[in-house]
């Protein structure tokens, strides 16, 4: 797995997406949008109804997070990633609209991995349990849509040096499977 850390500007273009490989470490600068289960469901409903979306998904990165309210003097409260597989049922319509990246924790279904290959998109993994640390990379947070959903509303985040690892790339490479291969060999040597 690649060891270098690369800097990426979000939204991301297709050339950048095509060059990413599973296991690669990245630092993001730019704009993310937040969305979780309920907001994904609403976005897909709008697409199915032929109605405009509150955000242009072309080249965008969605961070699976339900940020907590900011304390005085903070931009955002805790902002740790949500389990990615919860969004799997909603992905194809969003990829069709140009979504290029998602950030969350945990594995994706084979169906979503295949969709990433088809639509030239990637998924990044972030550190679960480090919500306060992740929040330090968020410079601005604005409510965009579905305010009635509370923490599941869509927010626009401006990020700087936001760390993530490419979990799945456009070729279908899977960081989780690769890690098991590597660490499985190490574990057998130890025993």
CA 54 – CA 104 distance, rounded (Å): 21
Domain ranges of the chain: 5-190
Domain 5-190 class, CATH top level: alpha beta
Closest CA to 163 of 2, 5, 4: 5
7 annotated active-site? no
What's the token pair of residue 160?
A: 């700087």
Question: Phi and psi at residue 27, in whole multiples of 5°?
Answer: -120, 125
Q: What does the longest C-alpha to C-alpha distance in the chain come to?
A: 58
Which helix (H) or strand (E) segment is 123 a member of?
strand 122-125
pLDDT by residue for the chain (191 residues), tens digit each? 456 899 999 999 999 999 999 999 999 999 999 999 999 999 999 999 999 999 999 999 999 998 888 888 888 877 878 889 999 999 999 999 999 999 999 899 999 999 999 999 999 998 766 666 677 888 999 999 999 999 899 999 999 999 999 999 999 999 887 776 666 654 444 44
Query: Of the listed 7, 40, 123, 155, which one is catalytic?
Result: 40
């Amino acid at each position: 797995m690649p060891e270098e850390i690369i800097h990426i500007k979000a939204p991301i273009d297709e050339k950048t997406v095509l060059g990413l490989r599973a296991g690669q470490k990245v630092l993001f600068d730019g704009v993310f949008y937040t969305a979780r289960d309920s907001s994904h469901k609403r976005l897909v409903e709008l697409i199915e109804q032929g109605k405009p979306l509150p955000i242009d998904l072309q080249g965008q990165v969605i961070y699976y997070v339900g940020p907590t309210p900011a304390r005085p003097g903070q931009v955002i409260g805790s902002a740790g990633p949500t389990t990615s597989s919860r969004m799997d049922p909603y992905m194809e319509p969003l990829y069709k609209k140009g979504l290029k990246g998602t950030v969350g924790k945990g594995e994706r279904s084979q169906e979503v991995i295949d969709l990433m290959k088809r639509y030239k998109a990637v998924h990044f993994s972030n550190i679960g349990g480090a919500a306060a640390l992740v929040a330090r990379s968020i410079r601005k947070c604005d409510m965009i849509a579905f305010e009635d959903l509370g923490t599941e509303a869509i927010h626009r985040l401006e990020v700087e040096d936001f760390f993530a690892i490419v979990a799945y790339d456009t070729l279908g490479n899977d960081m989780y499977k690769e890690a098991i291969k590597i660490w499985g060999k190490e574990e057998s040597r130890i025993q």
